Amino acid sequence: MPVTDTFFLSIDRDKFRSTNAIWNELRLNDPWSVGYVSDLIAKKSFLTKEEWEQFYYDSGHERYKQLLKLSLQTRNLLNNFMLKKQNPAKIKTISPNLIKLNTFYGRTKNDLMLKAKVLCKEINYSLSLEECFTCVRFRTICETWNGIVIVEKNTIKNLQTRFPEIIFRKVDGERDYKYAIDYELFYNGKLLGAIQIKPKSYSGNAPYIKRAKKANERKHQKYNKDFCKNVRFIIADKNGNILNDDDFIPRMTQYYRQHLKRT
């Protein structure tokens, strides 16, 4: 049975979409700002979406305790969630151990509220602060659950049934961020390629989606350059039904059958 315990957006979806551009422009979803959420959600098997949300906040409180051991100057530096946008070169000068305090931990509700205040100001207060907080929370916590636990897991179950010989290996957050991939595919220990799973909305033509597609394509080209393997898109619904089936499945079937014959 597919996983169906989904977060639902509590504000008008057009209001939510109106913040897409500035959210991406300010890089408010960067791992520097919210942590590698795909790694955090993989740390344990959550029974409910509420359990995952509380785990994320608790991880943020643990991060806060670690920050208190540092100097005020260092705390302010690590708490500057817009640093990746304002001064990306500065991050390269920070020690890996300090960077882990941002990328290996979640955030508190207060941290998300600070983002909401910035977002509210940047969109000229066209949404209330409460609505902006809803946008921040939904993108950070809810979309991670809906996308990884609901869409991804159900899609992989579907694919595993169709291609039982293939091992679908979930990548870590750093690899996901670098190459825009969700799973790498293996047969007899050999890398076949990678896939990126996206919801139905990704097939649209809104400006922010076009920008996201171009950014992902650049990362996929880098993956091809580094490993001589392709990345393929999968558009799926929450039940794991593949919506670009006519395009993806025949190509995947032909490619992997040919590969399996050679191996």
Asked if residue 186 and residue 82 are part of one domain, the reply reads no
N-term to C-term CA, the chain: 33
| pLDDT of residue 51 exceeding 90 | yes
Q: Say how many domains are in the chain.
A: 2
If pLDDT is split at 50, 70 and 90, which confidence band does 109 have? very high
Structural domain including 69 reads: 13-143
Predicted local distance difference test score (pLDDT) of residue 209: 77
Question: Does 2 map to a domain?
Answer: no
If pLDDT is split at 50, 70 and 90, which confidence band does 255 have? low
Tokens of 36: 């590698």
Asked if residue 131 and residue 69 are part of one domain, the reply reads yes
Residue 234 CA to residue 202 CA, distance in Å, equals: 10
Name the average pLDDT for the chain.
Answer: 89
| pLDDT of residue 234 exceeding 70 | yes
Tokens of 40: 């955090």
Place of tokens 């659950």: 145
If pLDDT is split at 50, 70 and 90, which confidence band does 227 have? very high
Question: Does 226 map to a domain?
Answer: yes
Asked if residue 213 and residue 104 are part of one domain, the reply reads no
Question: Does 251 map to a domain?
Answer: yes
Please state, for a pLDDT cut of 90, what percent of the chain lies above it. 61
| pLDDT of residue 178 exceeding 90 | yes
| pLDDT of residue 65 exceeding 80 | yes
